[in-house]
């Protein structure tokens, strides 16, 4: 610092204009740089602390941390919720869950595996990738079940061609080659390398969240083997899960059969499309198993619980060590109680099986499939729904499921996946006669006591129609005509109904009443999927025959054929059951349903599922009473077509037989009955494809089901059949009247297409 | 000044250190996120590079702009920051806890941008205070009033970590501006008392201000063996770093790339360096930060005006706090908060923020006019003789 001279003024440089002068007394100048130095000191201290800490961790304690790193790890595991059980009306277990262990791999341990195995190539034929085709095929298969048999066969053949096509475009083949331990793993788990690659491919497309399951329901020895050699198979996990287990029933000769396989439906991972359906699949998340059809699907939102989460410490090999870090309990699904009664269901399936077997050995070798439905006519609650042939859902849920599914689909001859009770389409035959009676009386073309001559044949509009019983020629009223199932009585009614058709073409009386009584449309059953059937009318004929002037009108022939349940009429056994329930309960069209209530795991009822009350149809109760009398006669009157079949049965059963014709096939056997006739609590309908006479083949099956339902102890069809074979039973064949059988054989040969009339149903 | 002049004056040492850290960070993020998205190993890497490029762009712009302009834009800057913070709260109310505004390409985190904008605003206010002779509690109060709205808006989000950074910035600028040491100590004591209040006393009388997970993070730091999420992350980080040893385990990471350390590309990116490059690599990173602190700190007393000096101070506080807390958290000696590690953490908003801050500081540093008479009273030759050989001898007394 230079001292200023006394006489020279000090020249202070003016500050640059933008910066105001900062006077010393206001501002602490010394501290400025000192303060910065302090800050600098703080920074240095912090850095020193950090470096010392680094030294401590990385040099002094490195061994400890290295050891911890090796035994370190955290895995998040989805804890799947246990799926609710399906119980019968009494609470008996029908479908439950069983433990199922699977071998899986952790995809993050195999870099590039998903990219390689996820490769998919658009198919040469239609530009869709193989996965898209597989999904389209599954959807198409479910659809195909609804069609009538002919269309179904064609559809499944087309699907089969596609199925064969997809297997050729395996763009991901060989994707596991770079990991030879995977091939070893496949061998140990008992699957082929092709199956391994397919499993990884399917998973890769779905963008797996967790492990990829390679093989399900693996043998315990395999599990132990893999666990012991965890070091050899890094990235391999044993996944403990569950699979469905199904109740079985004991049949004849002690064999076990699956119970009601068509009701349940399979479980599969929810697809992207299905997640969007928030009504059926409420709150479903990717990776959840959901029901695809039937009960499992329509009650999925109750049955499927909510997954929980488990975070565990695992070591480098993936084995759990130490504590659970975080866990969130899974919420188990609720149980569903059905209206189905396991005892009646079992009896129905046994009766169906035995009746078909018996028919095969007693003159009807073509008897194959069939269905039985048992329903409560007061509420529409379904007590049993059996369809034959069936399949084993336990195999579908197990390891060989995919192959088994393919074989079931390819079996177009038997169509085992088809639920014939709900979606089987059949000609109704004589079981349809009550509809004609109701239409006639309500349409004022006849009265409940109208008497008409029952002749062996009748000619109307140049067409000759025959009665099944060629030997009868006497006047009958409705009750008698119903009991003896006189076809000409109903031809006359059909003719009158045709003449009563308004010229304006607004409606045709027969189809109108058929629709009012529930035919031609789905019944709205809660598990869905039932067929609508077909009720021909003038519009139908126009649609079907187009410009063909000969055939595209509603003729007397159409009305007459429909009056005995033939023609192009197609009904399902479920619809027939509903009709007879209406007759039994005095005029209410009940809503068939299978679901009864939802129960929590703690046993408390959460929700009642029983659906709306039925719809009252405006039918004169007197006509229904008359019909009921006629139906009682069927089993009580010696002229009744099911007299022999129900002889000696302690409970009064009323019903109707049917022997429906179908072009190119043998007659379809029907019986629809209810009991006790005075105050009906059960309707049972049975149809047996190509089984011959309803009173002979189907009626004994219905009797057997009713015996179980009402606690009547008597011999089953199977027992009688075995007794016959053993030579200890020489009585009449079930339900047969030998005289009638001979006559029927005569008349069945005379109703061949030569006369182009489809007549004579009984 | 012309661009050429600017470029000659820029502190290239600082630039080099920042670029080096950016590079190290990029490699760490890439190594860590390789398995995060199955089928796309470069997903995070690509985005990180884009963020870096964007941040460098912002830094270049901030460097070129003359900082004196900000005074004229004070209300615009302050207002838009507050506005964005309020908008974020609106989003948060709609969708639950959320700190960002979703934009077409990336998500904007206003609390991050606020760090830089508040430095600018604070510097202007405090410079005014100093010039008008307001000091001590007057200055502190003004600073508090300015910072209270953004601090509160950030705290409510809730974003505890960022609000701590705001406090640190404020304190640094106040210290540099001359707040007496005693006041600083008092403020510090108040802060500690607040922490105890918020963590301990209020919850026990039923008024928890912090969300449970926030409180848990802080207490987990005190009890690292606990089973909570935050404690787990801290443990995992230490294991990863510790297992790095002297020279690291090489590029094929196992701990940090696996699902062991979930925040390996954000909060815990330092652990990736620790595991891969060991003590040597980690120490180099820490020393690079020290270099940056030094270069920024050098500018504080040499800035050509008070505003720019305080800007440099604010940036100093910003960087020091983030580095100290983030690395401390990785090493288990600081509680877990969502504070990013400057230039290394993955994330658009924080990368842009920190690089913009660097740009500001470079702007300040490039405009230090060495031949000009140093501002009287401010650029005194200090008695402690921290002599800068480039400093012109001062004739003014």
Residue A611 makes CB contacts below 8 A (sequence gap 6+) with A380, A526, A591, A593
Beta-carbon separation of A37 and B293 below 8 A: no
Q: How far apart are the first and last CA of chain A?
A: 136
Chain B hits for A328, CB-CB cut-off 8 Å, are none
Q: Convert the pLDDT of each residue in A308-352 to its tens digit.
A: 877 766 654 455 555 666 677 888 899 999 999 999 999 999 999
Helix/strand/coil for A589: strand
- Mean pLDDT across B258-268: 62
Mean pLDDT of chain B: 80
Gap between the Cα atoms of A406 and A160, Å rounded: 9
- Least confident stretch, A420-434, B137-151, B155-169: B155-169
Nearest CB to B241; choose among A32, A58, A76: A58
A468, A693 Cβ separation under 8 angstroms:
no
pLDDT higher than threshold 70 for residue B56: yes
- Least confident stretch, A445-459, A583-597, A696-710, B130-144: B130-144
Chain A hits for B282, CB-CB cut-off 8 Å, are 54, 58
pLDDT higher than threshold 70 for residue B29: yes
| Count of A-B CB contacts under 8 Å | 178
Gap between the Cα atoms of A436 and A428, Å rounded: 12
Range with the largest mean pLDDT of A157-166, A689-698, B130-139: A689-698
pLDDT higher than threshold 70 for residue B201: no
Which residue is closest to B287 within chain A, CA to CA? A47
Residue A3 makes CB contacts below 8 A (sequence gap 6+) with none
Which residue is closest to A33 within chain B, CA to CA? B301
Question: What pLDDT does residue A19 have?
Answer: 45
Going by pLDDT thresholds of 50, 70 and 90, the confidence category of residue A639 is confident
Cis peptide before A676 (omega within 30 of 0): yes
Nearest CB to A64; choose among B135, B242, B246: B242
Question: What pLDDT does residue B205 have?
Answer: 60
Q: What's the DSSP call for residue A82? A: P
Going by pLDDT thresholds of 50, 70 and 90, the confidence category of residue A232 is confident
Q: Please tell me if residue B381 touches chain A, with a CB cutoff of 8 Å.
A: no
pLDDT higher than threshold 60 for residue B97: no
C-alpha distances in angstroms, B309 versus A40, A322, A731, B170, B244? 15, 55, 118, 14, 40
Beta-carbon separation of B178 and A28 below 8 A: yes
Helices A509-516 & A433-442, crossing angle to 10 degrees?
110
Q: Convert the pLDDT of each residue in B111-159 to its tens digit.
A: 899 999 999 999 999 998 888 888 788 888 899 899 999 998 888 777 7
Q: Between A162 and B376, name the one with better pLDDT.
A: A162
A370, A691 Cβ separation under 8 angstroms:
yes
Nearest CB to A35; choose among B130, B176, B327: B176
Beta-carbon separation of B245 and A59 below 8 A: yes
Q: What value of ipTM does the predicted structure carry?
A: 0.86
Residue A310's nearest CA partner among A31, A122, A80, A491 is A80
Please give, rounded to a whole number of angstroms, the shortest distance from the CA of A232 to a CA of chain B. Answer: 19
A694, A669 Cβ separation under 8 angstroms:
yes
Three-state SS string over chain B comes to CCHHHHHHHCCHHHHHHHHHHHHHHHHHHHHHHCCCCCCCCCHHHHHHHHHHHHHHHHHHHHHHCCCCHHHHCHHHHHHHHHHHHHHHHHHHHHHCCCCCEECCCCEECHHHHHHHHHHHHHHHHHHHHHHHCCCCHHHHHHHHHHHHHHHHHHHHCCCHHHHHHHHHHHHHHHHHHCCCHHHHHHHHHHHHHHHHHHHHHHHHCCCCCCCHHHHHHHHHHHCCCCCCHHHHHHHHHHHHHHCCCCCCCCCCCCCCCCCCCCCCCCCCHHHHHHHHHHHHHHHHHHHHHHHHHHHHHHHHHHCCCHHHHHHHHHHHHHHHHHHHHHHHHHCCCCCCCCCCCCCCCCCHHHHHHHHHHHHHHHHHHHCCCCCCCCCCCCCCCCCCCCCCCCCCCCCCC
Mutate to test the interface with A, among B34, B38, B328, B396 (most CBs of A within 10 A): B38
Going by pLDDT thresholds of 50, 70 and 90, the confidence category of residue A286 is confident
Gap between the Cα atoms of B173 and A438, Å rounded: 99
Question: What pLDDT does residue B216 have?
Answer: 61
Question: What pLDDT does residue B248 have?
Answer: 76
Chain B hits for A35, CB-CB cut-off 8 Å, are 175-176, 178
A570, A508 Cβ separation under 8 angstroms:
no
Mutate to test the interface with A, among B183, B220, B235, B242 (most CBs of A within 10 A): B242
Nearest CB to B282; choose among A39, A54, A69: A54
Beta-carbon separation of A62 and B293 below 8 A: no
A139, A271 Cβ separation under 8 angstroms:
no
Gap between the Cα atoms of A38 and A286, Å rounded: 58
Nearest CB to B283; choose among A32, A54, A76: A54
Share of chain B above pLDDT 70, in %: 73
pLDDT higher than threshold 60 for residue A735: yes
Please give, rounded to a whole number of angstroms, the shortest distance from the CA of B87 to a CA of chain A. Answer: 32
Chain A hits for B255, CB-CB cut-off 8 Å, are 69, 72
Q: Please tell me if residue B324 touches chain A, with a CB cutoff of 8 Å.
A: yes
Gap between the Cα atoms of A670 and A576, Å rounded: 10
pLDDT higher than threshold 50 for residue B378: no
Q: Convert the pLDDT of each residue in B217-246 to its tens digit.
A: 666 666 555 555 566 677 778 888 888 888
Q: Is A444 exposed, middle or buried (0-12, 13-18, 19+ CB in 10 A)?
A: exposed
- Mean pLDDT across A111-120: 72
Q: Please tell me if residue B376 touches chain A, with a CB cutoff of 8 Å.
A: yes
Please give, rounded to a whole number of angstroms, the shortest distance from the CA of B84 to a CA of chain A. Answer: 32
A593, A567 Cβ separation under 8 angstroms:
no
Q: Which residues pair with A534 in a beta bridge?
A: A570
Chain B hits for A13, CB-CB cut-off 8 Å, are 373, 396
Going by pLDDT thresholds of 50, 70 and 90, the confidence category of residue A386 is very high
Question: What pLDDT does residue B75 have?
Answer: 94
Q: Convert the pLDDT of each residue in A182-224 to its tens digit.
A: 888 888 887 888 888 877 877 776 555 467 778 888 877 888 8
- Mean pLDDT across A485-495: 93
Beta-carbon separation of A53 and B331 below 8 A: yes
Question: What pLDDT does residue B394 have?
Answer: 47
Beta-carbon separation of B286 and A43 below 8 A: no
Q: Between A708 and B258, name the one with better pLDDT.
A: A708
Beta-carbon separation of A39 and B376 below 8 A: no
The first and second tokens of residue B253, run together, are: 């990471």
DSSP per position, A7-68: SSPP-PPPPPTTS----TTTS-HHHHHHHHHHHHHHHHHHHHHHHHHHHIIIIISHHHHHHH
Question: What pLDDT does residue A65 have?
Answer: 83
Which residue is closest to B382 within chain A, CA to CA? A30
Cis peptide before A389 (omega within 30 of 0): yes
Q: Which residues pair with A687 in a beta bridge?
A: A371, A670
- Least confident stretch, A26-40, A624-638, B133-147, B151-165: A26-40
* Phi, psi torsion values for A73, nearest 5 degrees: 145, 155
Share of chain A above pLDDT 90, in %: 40
Q: Please tell me if residue B134 touches chain A, with a CB cutoff of 8 Å.
A: no
pLDDT higher than threshold 50 for residue A299: yes
Task: Give residue for tokens 């699957």.
Answer: A191
Question: What pLDDT does residue B382 have?
Answer: 42
- Least confident stretch, A130-139, A151-160, A543-552: A130-139
C-alpha distances in angstroms, A18 versus A21, A159, A176, B305, B309? 10, 87, 74, 9, 15
Mutate to test the interface with B, among A27, A56, A76, A203 (most CBs of B within 10 A): A27
- Mean pLDDT across A127-156: 64
Mutate to test the interface with A, among B231, B243, B282, B305 (most CBs of A within 10 A): B243
Gap between the Cα atoms of B216 and B228, Å rounded: 8
Residue B372's nearest CA partner among B397, B396, B392 is B392
Q: Convert the pLDDT of each residue in A656-678 to its tens digit.
A: 999 999 888 889 999 999 999 99
pLDDT higher than threshold 80 for residue A3: no
Range with the largest mean pLDDT of A100-114, A188-202, A685-699: A685-699
Please give, rounded to a whole number of angstroms, the shortest distance from the CA of A545 to a CA of chain B. Answer: 57
Q: What is the CA radius of gyration of chain A?
A: 38
Please give, rounded to a whole number of angstroms, the shortest distance from the CA of B213 to a CA of chain A. Answer: 14
Q: Which residues pair with A656 in a beta bridge?
A: A672
B51, B347 Cβ separation under 8 angstroms:
yes
Whether this model's pTM surpasses 0.90: no
Question: What pLDDT does residue A22 have?
Answer: 38
Going by pLDDT thresholds of 50, 70 and 90, the confidence category of residue A476 is very high
Mutate to test the interface with B, among A57, A61, A76 (most CBs of B within 10 A): A57
Task: List, as ranges, residues 69-128 from B with C-beta within 8 Å of A.
Answer: none
Beta-carbon separation of A42 and B300 below 8 A: no
pLDDT higher than threshold 70 for residue B383: no
A496, A511 Cβ separation under 8 angstroms:
no
- Mean pLDDT across A69-94: 80
Beta-carbon separation of A36 and B135 below 8 A: no
Residue A90's nearest CA partner among A346, A278, A358, A279 is A346
Q: Convert the pLDDT of each residue in A518-550 to its tens digit.
A: 999 999 999 988 999 999 999 999 888 888 888
Gap between the Cα atoms of A654 and A646, Å rounded: 10
Chain B hits for A207, CB-CB cut-off 8 Å, are 38
Question: What pLDDT does residue B387 have?
Answer: 43
Gap between the Cα atoms of B3 and B369, Å rounded: 15
**Cα–Cα–Cα angle for B325, B329, B332, nearest 5°?**
135
């Amino acid at each position: 610092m230079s001292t200023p001279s006394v006489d020279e003024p000090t020249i202070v440089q003016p500050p640059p204009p933008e910066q105001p002068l900062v006077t010393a007394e206001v501002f602490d100048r010394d501290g400025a740089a000192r303060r910065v130095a302090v800050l600098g000191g703080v920074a240095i201290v912090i850095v020193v602390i950090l470096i010392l800490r680094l030294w401590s961790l990385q040099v002094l304690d490195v061994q400890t941390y290295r050891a911890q790193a090796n035994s370190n790890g955290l895995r998040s595991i989805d804890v799947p919720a246990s799926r609710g059980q399906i119980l019968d009306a009494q609470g008996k277990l029908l479908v439950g869950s069983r433990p199922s262990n699977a071998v899986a791999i952790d995809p993050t341990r195999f870099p590039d595996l998903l990219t390689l195995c996820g490769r998919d190539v658009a198919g040469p034929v239609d530009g869709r990738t193989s996965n898209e085709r597989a999904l389209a095929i599954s959807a198409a298969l479910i659809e195909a079940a609804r069609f009538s048999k002919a269309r179904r066969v064609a559809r499944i053949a087309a699907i089969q061609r596609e199925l064969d096509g997809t297997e050729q475009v395996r763009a991901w083949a060989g994707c596991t080659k770079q990991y030879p331990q995977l091939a070893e793993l496949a061998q140990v788990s008992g699957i082929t390398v092709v199956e391994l690659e397919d499993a990884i491919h399917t998973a890769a497309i779905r963008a797996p969240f967790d492990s990829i399951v390679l093989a399900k329901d693996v043998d315990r020895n395999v599990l132990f083997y893999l666990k012991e050699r965890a070091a050899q198979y890094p990235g391999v996990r044993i996944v403990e899960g569950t699979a469905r287990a199904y109740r079985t029933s004991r049949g004849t000769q002690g064999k076990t059969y699956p119970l009601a396989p068509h009701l349940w439906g399979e479980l599969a991972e929810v697809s992207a499309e299905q997640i969007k359906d928030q009504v059926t699949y409420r709150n479903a998340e990717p990776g959840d198993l959901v029901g695809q059809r039937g009960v499992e699907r329509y009650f999925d939102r109750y049955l499927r619980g909510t997954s929980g989460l488990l975070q565990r410490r695992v070591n480098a090999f993936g084995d759990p060590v130490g504590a659970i870090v975080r866990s969130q309990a899974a919420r188990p699904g609720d149980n569903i109680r059905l209206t189905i009664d396991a005892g009646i269901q079992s009896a129905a399936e046994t009766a169906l099986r035995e009746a078909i077997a018996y028919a095969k050995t007693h003159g009807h070798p073509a008897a194959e499939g069939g269905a039985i439905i048992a329903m409560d006519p007061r509420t529409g609650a379904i007590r049993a729904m059996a369809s034959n042939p069936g399949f084993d859902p336990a195999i579908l849920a197990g390891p060989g499921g995919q192959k088994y599914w393919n074989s079931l689909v390819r079996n177009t001859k038997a169509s085992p996946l088809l639920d014939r009770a709900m979606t089987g389409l059949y000609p109704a035959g004589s079981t349809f006669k009550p509809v004609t009676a109701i239409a006639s009386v309500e349409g004022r073309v006849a009265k409940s006591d109208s008497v008409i001559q029952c002749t062996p044949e009748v000619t109307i509009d140049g067409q000759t129609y025959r009665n099944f019983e060629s030997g009868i020629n006497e006047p009958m009223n409705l009750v008698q005509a119903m009991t003896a199932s006189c076809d000409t009585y109903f031809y006359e009614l059909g003719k009158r109904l045709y003449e009563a058709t308004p010229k304006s073409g607004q409606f045709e009386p027969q189809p109108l009443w058929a629709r009012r009584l529930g035919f031609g449309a789905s019944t709205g059953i809660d598990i869905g999927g039932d067929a609508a059937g077909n009720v021909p009318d003038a519009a139908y004929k126009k649609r079907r025959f187009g410009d063909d002037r000969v055939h595209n009108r509603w003729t007397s022939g159409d009305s007459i054929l429909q009056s005995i349940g033939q023609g192009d009429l197609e009904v399902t056994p479920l619809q027939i059951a509903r009709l007879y329930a209406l007759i039994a309960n005095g005029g209410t069209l009940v809503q068939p349903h299978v679901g009864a209530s939802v129960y929590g795991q703690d046993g408390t009822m959460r929700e009642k599922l029983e659906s709306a009350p039925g719809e009252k149809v405006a039918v004169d109760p007197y006509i229904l009473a008359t019909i009921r009398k006629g139906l009682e006669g069927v089993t009580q009157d010696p002229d009744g077509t099911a007299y022999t079949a129900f002889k000696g049965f302690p409970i009064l059963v009323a019903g109707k037989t049917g022997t429906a014709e179908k072009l190119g096939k043998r007659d379809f056997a029907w019986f629809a009955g209810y009991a006790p006739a005075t105050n009906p609590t059960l309707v049972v309908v049975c149809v047996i494809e190509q089984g011959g006479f309803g009173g002979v083949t189907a009626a004994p099956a219905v009797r057997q089901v009713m015996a179980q339902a009402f606690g009547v102890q008597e011999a089953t069809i199977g027992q009688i059949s075995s007794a016959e074979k053993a030579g200890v039973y020489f009585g009449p064949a079930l339900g047969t009247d030998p005289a009638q059988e001979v006559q029927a054989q005569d008349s069945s040969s005379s109703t061949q297409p030569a006369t182009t009339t489809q007549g004579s149903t009984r | 000044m012309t661009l050429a002049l600017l470029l000659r004056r820029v502190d290239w040492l600082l630039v080099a250190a920042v670029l080096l850290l950016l590079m190290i960070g990029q490699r760490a993020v890439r190594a860590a996120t390789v398995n995060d998205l199955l089928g796309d190993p470069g997903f995070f890497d690509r985005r990180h590079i884009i963020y870096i490029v964007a941040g460098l762009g912002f830094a270049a712009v901030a460097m070129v702009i003359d900082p004196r302009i900000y005074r004229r834009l004070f209300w615009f800057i302050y207002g838009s920051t507050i506005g964005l913070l309020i908008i974020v709260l609106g989003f948060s109310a709609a969708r639950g806890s959320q700190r960002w505004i979703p934009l077409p390409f990336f998500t904007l985190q206003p609390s991050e941008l606020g760090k830089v904008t508040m430095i600018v605003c604070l510097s202007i206010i405090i410079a005014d205070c100093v010039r008008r002779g307001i000091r001590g509690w007057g200055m502190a109060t003004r600073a508090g009033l300015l910072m209270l709205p953004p601090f509160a808006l950030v705290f409510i989000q809730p974003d505890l970590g960022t609000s701590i950074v705001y406090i640190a910035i404020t304190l640094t600028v106040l210290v540099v501006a001359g707040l007496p040491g005693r006041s600083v100590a008092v403020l510090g004591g108040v802060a500690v008392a607040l922490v105890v209040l918020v963590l301990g006393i209020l919850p026990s009388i039923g008024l928890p201000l912090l969300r449970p997970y926030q409180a848990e993070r802080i207490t987990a730091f005190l009890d690292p063996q606990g089973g909570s999420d935050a404690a787990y992350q801290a443990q995992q980080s230490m294991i990863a770093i510790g297992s790095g040893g002297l020279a690291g385990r090489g590029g094929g990471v196992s701990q940090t790339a696996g699902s062991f350390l979930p925040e390996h590309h954000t909060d815990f990116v330092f652990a990736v360096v620790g595991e891969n490059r060991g003590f040597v690599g980690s120490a180099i990173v820490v020393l690079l930060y020290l270099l940056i602190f030094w270069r920024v700190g050098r500018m504080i007393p040499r800035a050509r005006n008070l505003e720019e000096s305080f800007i440099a101070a604010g940036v100093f506080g910003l960087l020091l706090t983030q580095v100290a807390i983030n690395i401390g958290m990785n090493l288990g000696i600081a509680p877990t908060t969502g504070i990013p590690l400057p230039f290394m953490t993955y994330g658009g908003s924080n990368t842009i923020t920190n690089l913009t801050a660097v740009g500001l500081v470079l702007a300040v540093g490039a405009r230090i006019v060495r031949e000009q008479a140093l501002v009287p009273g401010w650029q005194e030759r200090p008695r402690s003789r921290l002599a800068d050989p480039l400093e012109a001898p001062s004739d003014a007394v």
